[in-house]
Structure 1
Amino acid sequence: MKRGSLTSKILGLMLVLILLSSSLAIFAIINLSYSLGDAKAINASGSLRMQSYRLMFYANSGSEAAQEKITEFENTLHSEALHPSKSWLSPKKIAAQYQLVIDKWLVMKYYIEQENSRDYAASLKDFVDTIDLLVLEMEHHAAFKLRLLAASQIFGLGLMLSIAFLAVRFTKRKVVVPLQQLMESANTISKGNFEIEMPETEYIELTALTDALQKTARELATLYGNLESQVAEKTLALTRANNELAFLYDTLLTLNAKKLDYKALKAALNQLKDYESIDYLRLIIQYPEQELEMIEANGGWPESADNSTRFPLQFEQANLGYLELISAQDINTPLFKNFAIMLTRSIVIHNATEQRQQLALMEERGVIARELHDSLGQVLSFLKIQISLLRKNLDHSCRSPAVEVQLTEINEGVSTAYVQLRELLSTFRLTIKEPNLKNAMEAMLEQLRANTDIKIHLDYKLSPQWLEAKQHIHILQITREATLNAIKHANASHINIRCYKDDRGMVNISVSDNGVGIGHIKERDQHFGIGIMHERASKLDGEVVFSSNDTHTNSTATTEQRHQENPDSPLESHNTSNLSQGTIVTLIFPSQQEPTHG
């Protein structure tokens, strides 16, 4: 559809109105300008009648006054007021009538000059009627011009009103209505509804405005849709992030609410596995110079895992292990990274807490050792001196074999108690670099190595999480007692101490030697040191087992296998044949965690 210009249309209407009003004004001005002399012409023609009657008195006189009156009459007849009567703009009737007046005046002038008053008087009425007819024609022409002016003004005003009416209707239909529709569309857009219908228009300007508004509506609809989708995505992301934070917070509370043991870690792994709906999940904890500790979520771990993903448990420069998973769906990497960081922090905090507890226990034991040394040690020393003095000062009459036996037993008991006290004080006063059981055992064995030529080796494979700080003193004391028994009574050359966890999840502390065998233990079974070992084992919910090396061939084979895999393995692997004749003292008690396969 061909579209016109609204501006041109409005400009055309304005020009028409301007031209029409200008034309009416020009016509009125011209009409008035030509009507200015009508009154003078009518007056002049009217004065001709009066002068005609006046000349009748001078027709018979022949005086010079008659000639002046004739000249005056002719001046009026040919004056400027009557001259337009002969113009080409004047009607022909007025011009003919004016010419008739002139012609008849020539006759009347002849009569005056001939002093023929009789003919003059006879022709006067006809001459005056001719002048009256000229005046009448002039009046009719003046009235016609006035009527023409009024008619033209009325017609022009009516035409202008009609054009104005048509212009108003045109403007309302072609401009106002589309603009109102555009305003309604704009209000609809402002309310967020971008599905609008634009008005059809046949003008370029309104079409451009309509197209611009429609384009703006489409762009706003697209932008609004994009914003809604972005808001939905952000809301979903924030909701998911909030859920993840709540999950991490609840898991952190679970981990820190109680002891960080196997059950707590496995419960956290199960929660993470269920939350993310992954296939397999496990936690590998690695402590320096120790075996890997593996904790699997429900569902276990497949034998072959080629597509697993690992998240390291890194704290400063220390690597504590990693979190490993297998999932067929996309992995929420930030969540697993944060979970790994949370586990790392929890393990570090737990280890630090355990170390603080161990340090506190060591400090408390140091205080107890000083108190024992200052009190019980002095009492035992005093008793030994008093027994020696009693034996020297006892009268021979009071001496008998029974008394000697009793004195000997009392002296041995005091000496044994004193030795036990010194050993206990030595254990309490261990100086180690870090408060953990391995370092404490190394420090304890260093003290024993300084007092014997027997080679003592420690094979430590226990994780810190398997033991509590309060268990350390009992383990140290039992291990020390078993090692001292091997040094003093087994006549051994090698002593191997193994600390590990078996397949049943039980902690095993074994002290094996290549000495004389289990017989010396049986001979000393009533010794109260062995009884103390059993008592300490019961406090650990465990037991102490005494056996011969020839009943532990599996352990020896395992040692040989480790040596074949690693020729630089400890000394125990080179002496398995010797150890087969010795004794094994094994402390067995449950760990703080369930069994795993690391």
Structure 2
Amino acid sequence: MNKPVNYSKYSIARRIGFYFLVMIAFASLISGISLSIMWSNKSDAGLINVSGSLRMQSYRFLYEMEHHPQSIPARLAEYRQSLNSPEIQDSLEHKCLLPKEVTEAYAKLQKNWLEMESFIVKRDRNAYEANIEGYANQVNNFVWQLQEFVELKLKVAIGVIAVSMLLIIALAYFGVWYTRKRIITPLNQLVTASRQVKNEDFDHIRLAVDDPNELGLLSSAFTQMASELAKLYASLEEKVEDKTRRLMAVNRSLLVLFQCSQLLTAKPVNQSVLFKVLQTILDNEQLRGIEIQVYGADYWNVTIDNAPEQDWQFNEIAIENEKLALLRWKPSLLCPDERLIQNVSEMIGRSLYVLQVQKQQQQLLLMEERSIIARELHDSLAQSLTFFKIQVSLLKRNGEVKQDWDKQKVILNDFEKALNEAYSQLRELLSTFRLTIEEANLTHALERVLDSLRIRTSAQIRLNCKLPSQIFSAQQQVHALQIVREAVINAIKHANASEIDVIAETNADGEHCLIIRDNGKGIASDIEPEGHYGLTIMKERAAELKGEFSIKNRPEGGVEVVVVLPNMITA
């Protein structure tokens, strides 16, 4: 664990202050030395002048002893005053600063002066003159030593000043270098990093975070702040991207739901519509396969499978506990939106349920309408025909006693035959009107029609229905049932068939077919005899279904009635 850095110890302000104090100290030293040199130069000049005057005064004594002996005491006093002048005494008081040679030369000078003074007092001019040269040399030596000392002081002062100036220059250079390295460069880096952060570039240049000073602390705090901002921005960007992805997914889901809703509501549901809906889900969710199985309408089943080896996931479609279909899918590496699939499943279920309910409502309305017509026919036309039949019987009974009975009998027989046939057709018509179509399932409806006809013949009537109930509306289903009923009745009445097959299937071209075939005696022509309208009615009903009607003899015997319907007749 790193120890905390004492920033006050390495403070930039403290260091700069220290450097300035050192520079001030050196400047003060230079100033002090300069002042001391100036002061010492003043005293040294006086000292040298006084020392130099000693030589001149010592030679003057020769002249005074020869020409003015009376002034010698005054001159001796002046000489002693010069030899012990304040300038010399002040210098001698700082012996620690004077070289040893100077003090020794002064002491020797004082000692020799005592000897020279004794010669003057004795007025021994010859002795004085004999020793004056040596004494003058001692004075010169003392003066020279003083000059050497002064020069030495000047040299030392100059050296100290030079060194101090060099130190000041070095300190100034170091101060500039330190300021550039420790202050200006980190500040420039902070400015650059601030601009980068301002431009949302949090991966800024490296800052001097290791410097143990205020700028290092500021750089460290700035770097930490930028790092936190980068994390915050990254987190915000991730949140924005996540929200954007979710909004796009929701928007895509809404678009898919809208497209599926348009497909399911624009026209009645059929296999083509279901295929488009499943293809939309497959493309949007990137599924590997999707399939729908419509219960009771196998023809409407749609399968799109691009990965046969993968297992299916499924969702059963049910409305009010009534199972309508099974939706299965194969997800890819990306997980599909199960809520979207569930919503589309519910939309498909509602469409199938609504179609079924609408068909049942149409069937109920049609059944009620036909029941009303049947009652009216039964109450009016049936009673009238019954009355005609009774009257024909009475006419036949009364006409037996009259002449030309044979002719009358032929006419009456024809009339009775036509009336019976009309009555039979009326009963069939009433049965047709009372045909119940409550069953939404086409197979069950056909079974009920054929069950009502099986009791009228010994022929074996078989049904093979592979068509889904959803291909017909209620009115269209009635037309289909009537075509089958009329064709089977014709086979029962006219073909003398032992086997009658009713087939409802889809051919290879995707067309719906109603086929009624028997093994009877066949037909001579497809032109209907006079007074019969069965073929005409079947053709008209086939036209109502937008289908093609055909009737032909089978090579193996019997008749085959075929009605070919388009694969989208409910559109």
SS at 1:6's partner residue?
A: coil
Structure 2 partner of 1:347: 352
1:415 to 414, 420, 425: 420
Paired letter, 2:354: I
The verdict on how the C-alpha distance between 1:305 and 1:196 changes in structure 2, with shifts beyond 3 A counting, is closer
**1:503 corresponds to 2:508:** yes
Q: 1:445 maps to which residue? A: 450
Deviation at 1:519, TM superposition (A): 5.0
Q: Corresponding residue for 1:543?
A: 549
- For residue 260 of structure 1, give the secondary structure of its aligned residue in structure 2: coil
1:85-484 aligned within 5 A: 194=202, 211-269=220-278, 271-272=280-281, 283-288=291-296, 291-295=298-302, 305-307=308-310, 311-312=314-315, 314-315=317-318, 318=323, 320-322=325-327, 330=334, 332-334=336-338, 335-336=340-341, 338-394=343-399, 404-431=409-436, 434-484=439-489
Matched residues in 1 for 2:552 and 2:392: separation?
Answer: 35
Q: Deviations over 1:351-398 (max 9, x none)?
A: 332222222222222222222222332232233233333434458668
| Local SS of the residue matching 1:414 | helix
Partner of 1:154: none
Residue 380 of structure 2 aligns to a residue in which SS? helix
Q: TM-score, with normalisation over the residues of structure 2?
A: 0.56
Q: Shift of the alpha carbon at 1:489?
A: 4.3
Distance of aligned partners of 1:592 and 1:396 in 2 relative to their CA distance in 1, 3 Å threshold: farther
The DSSP-based 3-state class of the residue aligned with 2:556 is helix
Letter in 2 for 1:349: V
- Aligned partner of 2:482: which letter? Q
- Which of 518, 521, 534 is the aligned partner of 1:517? 521
Identity %: 33
Contact 1:505–1:590 under 8 Å retained in 2: no
Amino acid corresponding to residue 309 of structure 2 in structure 1: D
**Equivalent position SS for 2:563:** strand
Note the aligned Cα RMSD (angstroms).
Answer: 4.7
In the alignment, residue 260 of structure 1 is paired with which amino acid?
V
Q: Which amino acid aligns with 2:261?
A: L
Q: Would you say the 8 A contact 1:311–1:337 is kept in 2?
A: no
When structure 1 is superposed on structure 2, of 197-206 and 441-450 the one drifting more is 197-206
Change (3 A) 1:458 1:549: farther
2:503 aligns to what SS in structure 1?
strand
Which ranges in structure 1 are unaligned for 5 or more consecutive residues? 14-172, 552-582
Q: Closer, same or farther in 2 for the Cα pair 1:4/1:324, shift >3 Å?
A: closer
Alpha-carbon shift at residue 221 of structure 1 (Å): 0.7
Cα displacement (A) at 1:228: 0.2
Q: Match of 1:436, as an amino acid?
A: N
Relative to structure 1, the CA distance from residue 202 to residue 518 in structure 2 (aligned partners, 3 Å threshold; closer, same or farther) is closer
What is the CA-CA distance between 1:249 and the residue it aligns to? 0.7
Residue-by-residue CA offset, 1:551-597 (whole Å, 9 max, x unaligned): 6xxxxxxxxxxxxxxxxxxxxxxxxxxxxxxx344231213339xxx
Amino acid at match of 2:253: E
Number of aligned residues: 399
Letter of the 2:295 partner, please give it. Y
Question: Which residue of 1 is the match for residue 6 of structure 2?
Answer: 4
Aligned CA distance change for structure 1 residues 433 and 547 (closer, same or farther; 3 Å): same
Distance 1:519 1:254, change over 3 A: closer
Q: How far apart in 2 are the matches of 1:539 and 1:401?
A: 48
Q: Does the 8 Å contact 1:308/1:326 carry over to 2?
A: no
Residues 315 and 549 of structure 1, relative CA distance in 2, 3 Å threshold:
farther
Aligned twin of 1:135: none
Corresponding residue SS for 2:268 = coil
Counterpart residue number, 1:593: 568
Deviation string, structure 1 residues 516-547 (Cα, Å, up to 9, x no partner): 42259989854333443333333333214243
After superposition, the Cα gap between the structure-2 partners of 1:200 and 1:507, relative to the gap in structure 1 and judged at 3 Å, is closer
DSSP-derived class of the 1:550 partner: coil
**Distance in 2 separating the partners of 1:272 and 1:398:** 88
Paired residues of 2:460 and 2:498 also in contact (CA < 8 A):
yes
CA apart distance, 1:315 = 1.9
Whole-angstrom distance in 2 between the partners of 1:466 and 1:331: 35
Q: Which amino acid aligns with 2:6?
A: G
Q: Secondary structure of 1:352's partner? A: helix
Deviations, residues 52-102 of structure 1 (Å, cap 9, x unaligned): xxxxxxxxxxxxxxxxxxxxxxxxxxxxxxxxxxxxxxxxxxxxxxxxxxx
Q: Output the TM-score relative to the length of structure 1.
A: 0.54
Using the TM superposition, give the Cα deviation of residue 306 of structure 1 relative to its aligned residue in structure 2, in angstroms: 3.4
Letter in 2 for 1:306: E
Please say if residues 495 and 513 of structure 1, whose CA atoms lie closer than 8 Å, have aligned partners that are also in contact. yes
Q: Is the alpha carbon distance of 1:399 and 1:295 closer, same or farther for their aligned partners in structure 2, counting shifts above 3 Å?
A: farther
User: Is residue 486 of structure 1 aligned with residue 498 of structure 2?
Assistant: no
Distance in 2 separating the partners of 1:284 and 1:584: 39
Q: Distance in 2 between matches of 1:521 and 1:488?
A: 16
Q: What letter corresponds to residue 592 of structure 1 in structure 2?
A: N
Contact 2:523–2:553 (Cα < 8 Å) also in 1? no
CA spacing shift, 1:442–1:208, aligned 2, 3 Å: same
Equivalent residue letter for 1:591: P
Cross-structure match for 1:142: none
- Matches of 2:245 and 2:4 in 1, distance apart? 51
Distance 2:238 2:527 in 1: 86
Q: Is the 2:367–2:436 Cα contact (8 Å) retained in structure 1?
A: no
Q: Secondary structure at the match of 1:413?
A: helix
